[in-house]
Structure 1
Amino acid sequence: MKSLSLQGLENLKGVDIQGVREVEIDVPNIERIYYGAVSHKPCKMNFDSCKNLRDLTIMNTKTDFVISDKWFLNLFANSPLLESLKLEECFMSEKIGISSSQLKSLVLSNCSTMEEIEIDTPNLASFRYYFAGDDLPSIHFRRYSSQLDVNVKLHMIPTCLHQLGKFVKQFRPRKLLTSLSLSMRQEYQNYHYWYPEEEDEEEEEDPFSLPAKVPAPVIEHLFIRSVREIKPDDYLLFVYRLFHCWYPETISLSLNPSHGSKEFIKV
């Protein structure tokens, strides 16, 4: 189905639309919209008339549709009651700003190209950031609730672990990082541990350094899901860095020995 237009329908409270390239919804009383685009084809969507929208999920807008600062401004201006926003597998601007006094839940899952995220949401209670990639963005909270719960799930290759310390450090000393779930995925070529040496940029923190260069925040729950393709000599340092420098209050392990985790378990 190429296009779908919904108008009127005063009693309609929610829709679940998937696989449609062009969507226009003019339903003032609608409260929930789930839209899953066709990831390999351009999409077009218009929800501007949905003044009572409270819950919005958008997925797979990876082709010829960029979610930008302007898009966020229009969204919150046209949907002032929006409380929950989930963006998954979406193409984003390099720098984005999310500002809303009403938003309570925000999920960004595998949204590519983002380098800087500024969040100004005084009532935000839940922030979820999931990324299976190698270039981690900077995340800055301008205003946030004292009850804010931050959960991060990362799936990385070992050669990019140098970014992890700097990424986690962003949440210090506010102690916002409630849960960090980490897994190492296999790299399909010979690799070595590389760390940037540009003179004009701040030195990246080596996650295997002893001791930690900068105190990291206390992580309430550290969840190790998989550790693959780490050199045998680095397992001890990896364990030290995660368990003794970040001081997790709770540690969960879900390791598959067939994924190269036997040495990690021994340590």
Structure 2
Amino acid sequence: MKNEMFLNFVDGTLQSRIEQKSSIQKFMLHLTSYNLELSDLLNQWIGTTTKSNIQELDLYIPSKKNSSYYLPQTVFTARTLTALRISGCKLGACNYINMSNLQKLCIQKIHIDEEIIQNLILGCPLIDDMRLIYCSGLKTLLLSSNRLNRVDIHCCHGLKKVEVKSPSLQTFWYHGKGSMRCNINLAMCKSLKSLTLEDANITDDLLKNQLSNFPVLEQLILSNCDALHCVMISSHQLKTLVLRGCDELREANIDTPNLLSFEYRGSKIPFSSLNPSGLREAKLYFEPSTLHNVDGSGFSFNKLQNFLRKFDCSKGLKFIVRSKENIIVHEDLRDILVPQVFDLKLEIIKSSTSLEDILDNLLRTWHPETLSIVSSTTSDFPEQVYKKMVDRGEEPSCCKYNSLNNKCWQHFLMDANIENLDDTEIESDWITWLKSSATMVNQLTCLRLNWKHR
């Protein structure tokens, strides 16, 4: 019944467009299931959109072994299309392609071969953004174009070689498929500014060779690159560096004097050579680990403390410590203390970050038991935080049209109370640690937070 209502609604809407002789700017159709009986109707709908000066077409039509939808050829001759996203269907031969205005193309969960790719490149002379996601059938991918600005390749099974010949390319994102090694050649992409590699097979030497090709690289993201052990990252242009989940990385020699943003996620501290004095923001997420590994590469709190002392305190950065059910916000990076626990999430944020943004970032998806603020005796920041929490009203007017699971923290906080650490009856390792530093306690405001269940 619901399916029939949906089909009638789409059909009626498109028919009214035909009667009004009006253009269609964007048509998005995502089906949860498909059977062959829908083929003629889908062809009719897509034909209607391509005759109505369609600019953006987004189709997700799931295929099964004996029930696949073949995209009609009319799509590949739609000259008004500027963006095309297709997922799940089959493409057929695609011998004639003429999408003279297409700029963005995303192909997902589709079997595709090298010939189709070349036909697309030739038939779409303005394409500048190309993304292949969970595609099969490709062993070699050669992209040669003077207009390509962005290329994404995610989990394309069987792909063994990628070569991009585009002097205009600025963004490249490669996500490898498990144990399958893929040779990536971007030597001609001298304008590359953003490189993301999620590849368990990339080695120290391969990374070194890649980075040597990009003189203006500004953003480097290395994620789950488990074959990396000791890397050298040297660049005067790099502004953002992310090392995420590279579990075997022991040492990262980082020489990036103009770096502004740094993120690390792992269980070691391989970045101690990094000089963070110029950073405007940093995120350090330390996953549970053991104190001492067999090779002596265990987590070192002293090394972490020494690294944090290198930040430029004159920039007024705020330092946030998160662990399990507790948060500490340091207004000043001098004399900071880090609890010796193994699920640390540390963030250093810009001084200009608003109070609303700080609280939304900390509390939207995570409801801690305590929020503590370490500040000078003259600072009004603790009072601002407390007032923001208690003066929100019983029924906050924000998120009025959001579903319950998508509402902000203000809808779940029941109350916030200032905790006197000298008189508190609460016993926990966290409270004990807070009380252990006299200098911190003298400047500390601890809020006990009570939340509704989601």
TM-score range, shorter chain: 0.5 to 0.7
Could you say which residue in structure 2 is the equivalent of 1:171? 210
Shift of 1:107: 1.0
Pick the aligned partner of 2:70 from 9, 12, 22: 22
Between the aligned partners of 1:11 and 1:208, the Cα distance in structure 2 is: 53
1:167-246 paired onto structure 2 within 5 Å:
167-175=206-214, 178-183=219-224, 207-208=228-229, 218=235, 221-226=240-245, 238-240=249-251, 243-244=252-253
In structure 1, the residue matched to 2:392 is none
Match for residue 113 of structure 2 among 46, 63, 67? 67
Deviation at 1:166, TM superposition (A): 3.2
Aligned: 1:154 with 2:198 = yes
CA deviations on 1:11-33 (whole Å, 9 max, x unpaired) are 21111100253212142211111
Q: Could you report, residue by residue, the CA deviation over 1:187-237 in whole angstroms, capped at 9, with x for unpaired residues? A: xxxxxxxxxxxxxxxxxxx8446xx7xx66647544233365x6xxxxxxx
Query: Structure 1 residue 265: deviation in Å?
Result: 4.5
Query: What SS does the corresponding residue of 1:91 show, helix, strand or coil?
Result: coil
Residues 53-93 of structure 1: per-residue CA shift (max 9 Å, x gap): 111111112xxx2331x222200111111111111111253
Query: Can you give the 5+ residue segments of structure 2 that lack an aligned partner in the other structure?
Result: 1-33, 63-68, 268-284, 292-297, 304-454
Q: 1:265 to 1:67 in 2, by over 3 A?
A: farther
Structure 1 counterpart SS, 2:203: helix
**Structure with greater proportional strand content:** 1
Q: SS state of the match for residue 56, structure 1?
A: strand
Alpha-carbon separation, structure 1, partners of 2:160 and 2:288? 31
2:140 to 95, 104, 117: 95
5+ residue gaps in structure 1? 186-205, 231-237
Contact 1:91–1:113 (8 Å) recurs in 2: yes
Distance 1:55 1:83 in 2: 6
Using the size of structure 2 for normalisation, the TM-score is 0.42
Mapping for residues 125-164 of structure 1, pairs under 5 Å: 125-131=170-176, 133-146=178-191, 148-154=192-198, 156=200, 163-164=202-203
Against the structure 1 CA distance between its residues 217 and 134, is the aligned structure 2 distance closer, same or farther, given a 3 Å change threshold?
A: farther
TM-score, scaled to structure 1 = 0.67
- Give the letter for the 2:244 counterpart: R
Alignment partner of 1:44 out of 91, 101, 115: 91
Structure whose CA Rg is larger: 2
- CA deviations 1:137-158 (Å, max 9, x no partner) are 2222253353x223223263xx
* 1:12 matched residue in structure 2: 54
Confirm or deny: 8 A CA contact 2:187 2:213 kept in the other structure.
no
Q: Which amino acid aligns with 1:22?
A: Y
1:119-152 deviations in Å (ceiling 9; x for gaps): 1112222212223523342222253353x22322
Is 1:56 paired with 2:111?
Answer: no
Pairwise CA distance, 1:105: 1.4
TM-superposed CA distance for 1:259, in Å, is 5.1
Worse-matched range after superposition: 131-140 or 116-125:
131-140
Q: Judging changes above 3 Å, is the alpha-carbon distance between structure 1 residues 60 and 83 closer, same or farther for their aligned structure 2 residues?
A: same
RMSD: 3.2
Q: Does structure 1 retain, via aligned residues, the 8 Å contact 2:224–2:245?
A: yes
Q: Check 1:165–1:32 CA distance in 2 against 1; reply closer, same or farther (3 A cut).
A: same
Aligned AA (1:13): Q
Alpha-carbon spacing, 1:78–1:170, altered in 2? closer, same or farther (3 Å):
same
Question: With CA pairs under 8 Å and 6+ residues apart, which has the higher RCO, 1 or 2?
Answer: 1
> C-alpha separation between the residues in 1 aligned to 2:213 and 2:234?
8
> Does the 8 Å CA contact 1:168/1:216 hold for their aligned counterparts?
no
1:100–1:175: structure 2 CA closer, same or farther, 3 Å change rule?
A: closer
The answer as to whether partners of 2:171 and 2:194 remain within 8 angstroms in 1 is: yes
Tell me whether 1:32 sits opposite 2:78 in the alignment.
no
Q: Secondary structure at the match of 1:169?
A: helix
Give the distance between the partners of 2:263 and 2:53, measured in 1 at CA: 45
> 1:103: Cα distance to partner?
1.6
Note if contact 1:107-1:129 (Cα within 8 Å) is conserved in structure 2: yes
Equivalent pair of 2:187/2:210 in contact (CA under 8 Å):
no
1:31 partner amino acid: T
Q: Aligned partners of 2:179 and 2:145: how far apart in 1?
A: 29
Supply the AA of the counterpart residue of 1:53: L
Q: Secondary structure at the match of 1:72?
A: helix
Match of 2:265 in 1: 254
